[in-house]
Amino acid sequence: MLVGAGFAAAPPIAFEEVARKAGLLFVLKNAESGQFHQIELMGGGVAALDYNNDGCADIFFTNGAAIPSLKKTGPEFYNRLYRNNCDMTFTDVTSEAGLQGEGYSMAVAVGDFDNDGFADIFVAGVDRNILYRNLGNGKFLDVTLKSGVSGDKPKPWSVSSGWVDYDNDGWLDLFVTNYVAWDPSREPKCGNPDQRFYCHPNQYKGLANQLFHNNHDGTFTDVSAKSGVGAHIGKGMGVAFADMDGDGFMDIFVANDSVRGFLFHNQGNGTFKEVGLETGVALRDDGAAIAGMGADWRDFDNDGRPDIVVSGMINDGFLLFRNRGAKRGFDDHSERSGLLIGTRQLTGWGLGMYDFDNDGWKDLFFANAHFTQLGHFLGRDAALPNRVFRNQGNGRFVDVEALSGAALHRGVAFADFDNDGRVDAVVTAMNGPAKLYRNVSGGAAHWLAVKLRGVKSNRQGLGAEVRVVLEDGRSLYNHATTTVGYGSSSEVVVRFGLGTQSAVQRLEVHWPGRKTQTVKIAAVDNMVEVVEEP
C-alpha cells in the first residue's frame, strides 16, 4: 500500500475554466414549462470520446428539451457533438455527423459495440433511447430499430447507461438504468395551488433496469429477465462497473434515488445475484437510503480492490464504500475518510475518481447543484460550485478546490483534452453554459496513459484491470471503463499518476477473463498502446 507516498511534495490541484475560449458554446435546455414535470430536474449527460481516432478527445452533449406532449423542438434542443481540433479548441460538427436528432435525452454511453475500431454512441432518455453506429467517416447512423435496444416496451425513462462485456465473449453488452414510470398527463401535483413544487420520487412507481446482450451481428437481445437484473425494481440513477472480487467477471453497481442501492454480482453463467445488502453497499452506515445520484467504482487506496463512491442530496452526505475483499464485502468508509462531513451540505450529480495531481492517489471530483425549489423552502441558492477532494494517501480526503462559477451542474466527463498528461473535466449546467475545466496543476509529477486494444476481448478492452509496478515495488491499480458518474461517459484511456517515479518495472494487463499480459515500459510521461496477445 502506498500510504502517504509522495503526497507532501505534490502541488495544489488547480483548474482553469476555458469553455468559451475553447469554442464550447453549448447550453443544456430542460424546457421548463411551469407545470413541474419531473423530468425537468434530470438530464445533462456528457461524453468524452475520440470519435474520429485522431488522438484528441471530442465532446458529445445530451440535451433534454422535447418534452413529450409539449412538442418543444428545434436546433437549440438537439444533442451536440464537438470535434476537438487538437489545439484545445472545438468545432460543432453535429449536423455533418448526422446526430441532430430530437428528443428528451438524459444520458450517453460510448463503446465500440461492433468491434470495428470506432466508438459508437448510445443515448438514453425519456420515451426513447437511440443507438448511433459510428461509420468511421465522421458520420453516424441511427441503428436503434435494427439493433433492438430502444427499450420502448413499456416506454422507458432511462437516466444512465453503460457498455460492459458481462459474459466475456469479446463483445460489449449494454446496461440501462431506468428511473420511474412517468406520464405527463398523469403528473402528480405536489404542494398547494399557489406554491407548487416538484414531487418526491416516492410519488412515482420505480422501474427495473435493463440488460441487452450483444448478438455479434449488430443486434441485441433483452436478457433483463433471464439474467436476473429485471427482477429488482428500483429508481436507477448512476451506474458503474468493476470486478469486485477478482473472479474475472464484471459486476454492476446502481445508485438508486431514495431507495437502497443495488449491487449485481456476476455469477459467471449469464446471471446476476443482487447482493447490495449482504455486501454493505445498499444503505448508509446508519441504515438509511440516500438519494443516490452518480457513482464511480475504482481503487482509491491502491490495495488492488475497487471501491465505490456515490453522490447524494443535501443532508445525505456522499458515500465511500471500501472494498475489503471477496468474503468481507464493503465497509462504509464515508465518515472515516472525511467525505461524509465534507459533503453534507452539498447535492451532487456527476462525479469521478481520478488522479488530478498525478501523485499516485485518485482524487474525487463532484458536479454539484441543489434542486431549484430548495431556495423557496430553505433559503438556499440552488446553484453550487463544483468541488475537488484530494486523496491524502492515508484513507482520508480533504476538500481542496471549490471551482469558480456556481451553477445548476449535472453531468461530468473526464479526459485529457489537451494531451498534456493531466486529466481535465467537462461539466453541463441546467439552462446555462457548459464548463470545460483544463487541469493546470503544477509540479513535475510523472504519469502514464494506457490505451488497450483487445483481440479476443472486446476491441476497447473494457473491463481489463491494469496494474503498474513501480521501481520501488509499489503497485497502482486501475481498470478500463467509460461508464463514470451520472448519465455520462469518459475517455477509454486508463491513466496513472506516478508521483516522483520516473520509471516503472512493468505493466500488467489482466484482460477480461483474467488472462495476464506483462509489458515493459520504455519511458513514462506518454501514452502506450497494449495489444492483446492472441
Query: For residue range 80-137, what is the model confidence (pLDDT) as tens digits?
Result: 999 999 999 999 999 999 998 767 899 999 999 999 999 999 999 988 899 999 999 9
Q: Give the pLDDT mean for 140-163.
A: 88
Contact yes or no for 421/433 (Cβ under 8 A): no
Pairing label, strands 58-61, 80-84:
antiparallel
**pLDDT value at residue 156:** 80
Tell me the residue type at 322.
R
Among 224, 215, 113, smallest CA distance to 172 is for 113
Mean residue pLDDT across the chain: 93
Residue whose grid cell is 427482477: 231
CB 140 within 8 A of CB 108: no
Rounded CA separation 350/366 (Å): 6
Of 83, 117, 209, nearest to 156 by C-alpha is 209
pLDDT tens digits, 180-227: 999 888 889 998 888 888 899 999 999 999 999 999 999 999 999 999
Closest listed residue to residue 240, CA positions, set 312, 307, 173, 158: 307
Determine the Cα–Cα distance for residues 241 and 93; give it in Å rounded to an integer. 31
Contact 142, 174 (CB under 8 A): no
From the list 321, 306, 362, the residue with the least C-alpha distance to 479 is 306
Q: Which three cell numbers stand for residue 462?
A: 473494457
pLDDT exceeds cutoff 70 at 10: no
R_g (Cα) of the chain, nearest Å: 21
Distance CA(122)–CA(62), nearest Å, equals 11
CB 407 within 8 A of CB 382: no
Lowest mean pLDDT among 2-6, 193-197, 199-203, 527-531: 2-6
Average pLDDT over residues 375-394: 87
Task: Tell me 430's DSSP state.
Answer: B
Task: Indicate the pLDDT class of residue 307, thresholds 50, 70 and 90.
Answer: very high
Confidence of residue 6 (pLDDT cuts 50, 70, 90): very low
Contact 519, 530 (CB under 8 A): yes
Confidence of residue 4 (pLDDT cuts 50, 70, 90): very low
> Letter for the amino acid at 438?
R
Cell of 489: 461517459
Residue 97 Cα distances to 79, 123, 375, angstroms? 11, 15, 41
Give the three cell numbers for residue 408.
445548476
- pLDDT for position 66: 55
**Order of all β-strands in the sheet with 348-354:** 348-354, 363-368, 387-391, 397-402
Of 355, 367, 505, 507, the closest CA to residue 443 belongs to 355
Which residue matches cell numbers 446496461? 175
Single-letter residue type at 245: D
